[in-house]
């Protein structure tokens, strides 16, 4: 309800509520100014008489209204790190997890210790404490770069000097640890706003979280990390060290604020207003990419070197070793990959070298059926390997070809590669003669077949024969071929029949010495549990059939039993 005319009245708002079962109505009147409200109240105080819609008078009492404002708890506190308003019951800040402190930000000791994260949660910023007063931003950046990974730090061995033993101590071994070269984005020195005096601590920002983690890993592995010959402390920072600068950026604020690395539109400022973070940019995108490309090139070069060395023959490798050490670390193949490479060589044989076709030499695999003696250069083995050997290993003689050899590898190569041996394998008379000679020596021809299934059973501790599987329930019976004769089913011999047979009784005869006893089988009947003998309905049926039904627990047996009971009741009624 609005009335913009009389007494400077702007708006009237009518409210109603129900308290204690009685409905209560009241209203608020808003005026243009406090003077208009006071003038209206003085003229009509203490009540205003008006007429209702039906003409009856209504008396409305007038009072000044008050504005409801939430009173702040005096025990609530503001975090000195991130300026977050916390309730009085909190012992740590909800946002940055910093402990509650009664000191003001300007009165706190500026040494960087309060900037360390209590939980050491990884971040891209590292706080460096305990710096000498002479350290500048340039010196700090140069010293922090010592946290880069250094793969060329070990001195190379020369031909005449003996190899030095490497230390196996867990402390001080920083090989392979550190951030990627060129990953340091910028460094900050904390200085006073008015005098620019260093507070002897600063920050280092890395490009990625993994780079900062790697730098901290190298610092933790180092026994001591010093900057300008003074040991320093490095740790991750918490989230309240650098806060967003929400005010309009003025020209004088450019020095005390800086842009976020991954969001240039966001300006950040150090949490303490009495000091500021002096920024020094170092990161170069091209340098960071070049360092990664160099590492990829080094990995590719090592891969090509290993492939080239694999293509060289044993003689060429020996010549290279005699000429002088290369100083490169030999990377061994993983045992699992080596095992499968050997298995592949056993099944398919060695591949011919594509680069060198003049010599045609390769190595014989050193496992499986070819694992005979040391690996020596040989001509590629043909696919037609003899399956039976007629050799006498005691005399190192091939009885099929009547040839004697100095050692077993020479004998095996003769069996695999000799043309004369291949021709003699097609001659039946020579084969029979070799077999006779072996029998005279008490031996037999041996087969080169390798039972790999047996080897797997031994390795995995498996039985030599598969275990019989139990027939499935309700499995269909195997179909017999048409015209097959039905074989008589042999009766099952019970324990009692077996004992009687041992005492001279045979099937079909009566019991007793003279055989005049009973010949019929005593039936085993099942009874209902809890029912006395002779009671009507106590007998259930044959015990064997009931036991089979209880074991199978089949629905068809239940149906047949219910039918039998119904038929029995029907017969008794009739």
- The ranges assigned to domains in the chain are 6-61, 77-102+109-151+173-288, 386-452, 539-574
- Write out pLDDT tens, residues 99-153: 777 555 445 678 888 899 988 999 999 999 999 999 999 999 999 999 999 865 5
User: 352 Cβ partners below 8 Å, 6+ apart?
Assistant: 360, 362, 380
pLDDT at 326 over 60: no
Which stretches within 34-180 are classed as H helix? 34-44, 137-144
What is residue 322's predicted lDDT score, i.e. its pLDDT? Answer: 44
Q: Cα separations (Å) of 428 from 184, 401, 414, 435, 442? A: 82, 13, 19, 11, 21
User: 556 Cβ partners below 8 Å, 6+ apart?
Assistant: none
pTM of the predicted structure, to 2 decimals: 0.37
pLDDT at 18 over 90: no
206 — pLDDT class (breaks 50, 70, 90):
very high
Coil, strand or helix at 389? strand
Query: Which has more pLDDT, 221 or 486?
Result: 221
pLDDT at 355 over 50: no
Q: In terms of Cα–Cα distance, which of 447, 437, 451 is closest to 388? A: 447
Altogether, the residues listed in the chain come to a count of 574
User: Does the domain formed by 77-102+109-151+173-288 have CATH 3.30.70.330?
Assistant: yes
pLDDT at 377 over 50: no
Query: Which has more pLDDT, 320 or 95?
Result: 95
Q: Is 253 exposed, middle or buried (0-12, 13-18, 19+ CB in 10 A)?
A: middle
351 — pLDDT class (breaks 50, 70, 90):
low
Give the torsion through C-alpha atoms of 37, 39, 44, 47, to 10 deg. 30
Highest mean pLDDT among 32-46, 200-214, 284-298, 306-320: 200-214
Above pLDDT 90, what percent of the chain? 15
Q: 555-573 and 543-552 are packed helices; what angle lies between their axes, rounded to 10 degrees?
A: 140
- Write out pLDDT tens, residues 385-396: 446 888 888 888
- Write out pLDDT tens, residues 480-532: 666 555 566 556 667 888 888 888 888 778 887 777 788 777 777 777 777 77
- CA 229/CA 143 separation, integer angstroms: 10
What's the mean pLDDT in 442-449?
A: 78
What's the mean pLDDT in 549-559?
A: 76
**Regarding beta strands 125-129 and 198-206, do their DSSP bridges make them parallel or antiparallel, or are they unpaired?**
antiparallel
User: Is-contact 85 78, C-beta < 8 A?
Assistant: yes
H-run or E-run covering 47: strand 47-51
What is residue 353's predicted lDDT score, i.e. its pLDDT? Answer: 39
- CA 431/CA 438 separation, integer angstroms: 11
Beta bridge partners of 58: 50
User: Is-contact 122 212, C-beta < 8 A?
Assistant: yes
Q: Is the peptide bond before 46 cis (omega within 30 degrees of 0)?
A: yes
């Amino acid at each position: 309800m609005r009335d913009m005319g009389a007494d400077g009245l702007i708006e009237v708002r009518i409210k109603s509520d129900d308290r204690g079962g009685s409905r209560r109505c009241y209203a608020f009147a808003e005026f243009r100014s406090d003077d208009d409200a006071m003038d209206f109240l003085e003229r009509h105080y203490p009540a205003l008489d008006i007429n209702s819609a039906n003409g009856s008078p209504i008396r409305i009492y007038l009072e000044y209204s008050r504005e409801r404002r939430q009173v702040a708890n005096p025990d609530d506190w503001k975090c000195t790190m991130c300026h977050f308003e916390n309730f009085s019951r909190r012992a740590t800040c909800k946002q940055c997890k910093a402990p509650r402190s009664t000191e003001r930000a300007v009165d706190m000791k500026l040494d960087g210790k309060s900037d360390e994260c209590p939980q050491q949660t990884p971040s891209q910023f590292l706080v460096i404490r305990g710096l000498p007063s002479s350290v500048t931003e340039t010196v700090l950046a140069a010293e922090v770069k010592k946290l880069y990974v250094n793969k060329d730090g070990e001195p190379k061995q020369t031909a005449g000097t003996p190899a030095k033993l490497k230390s196996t101590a867990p402390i001080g071994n920083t090989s392979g640890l550190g951030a990627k070269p060129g990953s340091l984005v910028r460094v900050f020195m904390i200085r006073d706003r008015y005098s620019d005096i260093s507070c002897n601590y600063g920050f280092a920002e890395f490009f990625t979280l993994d780079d900062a983690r790697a730098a901290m890993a190298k610092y933790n592995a180092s026994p001591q990390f010093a900057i300008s010959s003074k040991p320093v402390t490095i740790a991750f920072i918490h989230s309240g060290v650098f806060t967003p600068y929400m005010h309009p950026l003025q020209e004088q604020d450019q020095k005390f604020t800086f842009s976020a690395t991954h969001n240039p539109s966001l300006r950040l400022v150090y949490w303490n207003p009495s000091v500021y973070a002096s920024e020094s940019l170092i990161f170069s995108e091209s340098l960071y990419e070049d360092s990664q490309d160099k590492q990829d090139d080094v990995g590719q070069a090592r891969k090509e070197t290993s492939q080239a060395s694999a293509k060289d023959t044993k003689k060429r490798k020996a010549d290279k070793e005699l000429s002088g050490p290369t100083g490169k670390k030999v990377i061994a193949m993983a045992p699992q990959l080596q095992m499968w490479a050997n298995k592949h060589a056993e099944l398919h044989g060695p591949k011919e070298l594509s680069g060198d076709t003049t010599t045609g030499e390769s190595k014989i695999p050193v496992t499986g059926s070819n694992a005979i003696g040391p690996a020596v250069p040989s001509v590629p083995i043909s696919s037609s390997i003899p399956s039976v050997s007629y050799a006498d290993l005691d005399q190192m003689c091939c009885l099929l070809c009547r040839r004697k050899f100095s050692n077993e590898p020479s004998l095996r190569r003769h069996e695999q590669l000799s043309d004369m041996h291949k021709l003699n394998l097609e001659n039946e008379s020579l084969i029979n003669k070799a077999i006779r000679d072996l029998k005279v020596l008490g031996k037999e021809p041996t087969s080169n077949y390798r039972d790999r299934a047996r080897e797997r059973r031994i390795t995995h501790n498996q039985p030599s024969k598969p275990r019989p599987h139990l027939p499935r329930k309700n499995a269909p019976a195997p179909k017999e071929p048409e015209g097959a004769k039905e074989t008589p089913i042999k009766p099952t011999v019970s324990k009692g029949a077996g004992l009687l047979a041992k005492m001279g009784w045979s099937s079909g005869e009566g019991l007793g010495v003279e055989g005049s006893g009973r010949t019929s089988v005593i039936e085993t009947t099942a009874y209902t549990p809890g029912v006395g003998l002779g009671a009507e309905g106590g007998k259930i049926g044959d015990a064997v059939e009931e036991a089979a039904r209880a074991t199978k627990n089949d629905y068809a047996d239940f149906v047949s039993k219910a039918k039998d009971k119904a038929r029995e009741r029907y017969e008794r009624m009739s």
